[in-house]
Amino acid sequence: MTFPPGPAAHGDGPEAVAARLTGRTVSGVRPVSGSLAEAVLDGGGVVVVKRTEGAEAARAEAAGLRWLAGAGTVRVPEVHGHDGRWLVVDRVTRGRPTREAAVRFGRDLAGLHAAGAPAFGAPPPGGPAEAYIGLAPMRNVTGGDWPAWYAEHRVLPYLRRAVDDGTVRPDEAGVVERVCERLPELSGPAEPPARLHGDLWNGNVLWGADGDVRLIDPAAHGGHRETDLAMLALFGCPQLRAVLDGYRETAPLADGWEARVGVHQLFPLLVHAVLFGRGYAEQALAAARAAAAG
């Protein structure tokens, strides 16, 4: 791929940031979106330069990627550093989703979860408590009991904001609140805190040209492992059945896990309702009704 020469590497643009954080000269820059650019380094290599919501968002993402990498299982792009609102990581050369890669990814994801976390809600080492999931703020507050922690620090804050914004009507909120009250019986057997990616939708799963999956844009924290799996299912991950096959070969899931998918999807659906509106609120309410009925 050929990139046009970029402007002189000074100031606070993508080229300057890439040069500063890699220690390399940048020979060209290509904008990818309003917040992303790719920079070619002299001597070879391409990095992604990302402008985040703020310094804490960049710190959280960098810490999350390093925490996931530290498990020695799933692969993530190498982090070159973060600087203010900027983050620089290696670019992933894309391939196609194959069953072989999916099964291997499932096994690696099981290994990531098994690497554990100090507590539910624990942030990655070096990461801030005030983190993000996508563009939405996400507080990493720890707790010892998953049902209570999930209700208080994941589901209910976004439900309240959706109600305040008018995305969920006050008379509709009760169905979600009742699911939260029943979480001890709806959440299945107790599980230890898992090391979660935390925002594991299909767009954050990159199928590499080398046959390995790499994960990007984590909202990493200690959580319930079924939450990552439910997020994979939410927006249609390719080869999902093969991913689950590989996962369960390595770490069998507790009985009834499929019936609990909607419980775990409440959090990301309410986040999307806050960010993107009523359509996701309706999906969240439907998931809550189904969970309560089940």
User: Domain segments of the chain: what residues?
Assistant: 14-90, 99-293
Q: What is the CATH number of domain 14-90?
A: 3.30.200.20
201, 202, 208: which is closest to 76 by C-alpha?
A: 208
d(CA 119, CA 273): 27
Query: Which residues, 6 or more positions from 126, have their beta carbon under 8 angstroms from its beta carbon?
Result: 59, 63, 66
Assigned CATH class of 99-293? alpha beta
pTM tops 0.75: yes
d(CA 219, CA 198): 5
The pLDDT score that the predictor gives to residue 9 is 37
The pLDDT score that the predictor gives to residue 27 is 93
Give the catalytic positions in this structure: 199
Tens-digit pLDDT profile for the chain (294 aa)?
A: 333 334 333 457 999 999 999 999 999 999 999 899 999 999 889 999 999 988 899 999 999 999 999 999 999 999 999 998 999 999 999 999 999 999 999 999 999 999 999 999 999 999 999 999 999 999 999 998 999 999 999 999 999 999 999 999 999 999 999 999 999 999 999 999 999 999 999 999 999 999 999 999 999 999 999 999 999 999 999 999 999 999 999 999 999 999 999 999 999 999 999 999 999 999 999 999 999 887
Q: Which residues of 236-268 are buried (b: 16+ CB within 10 A; e: fewer)?
A: ebebbebbbebbeebbebeeebeebbbbbbbbb
Backbone angles phi, psi at 216, to 5 degrees: -125, 170
Q: Which two tokens mark 134? A: 């996508």
What is the biggest distance separating any 2 CA atoms in the chain, rounded to whole angstroms? 61
Distance of CA 167 to the CA centre of its chain: 23
The pLDDT score that the predictor gives to residue 11 is 57
Q: Which two tokens mark 222? A: 């200690």
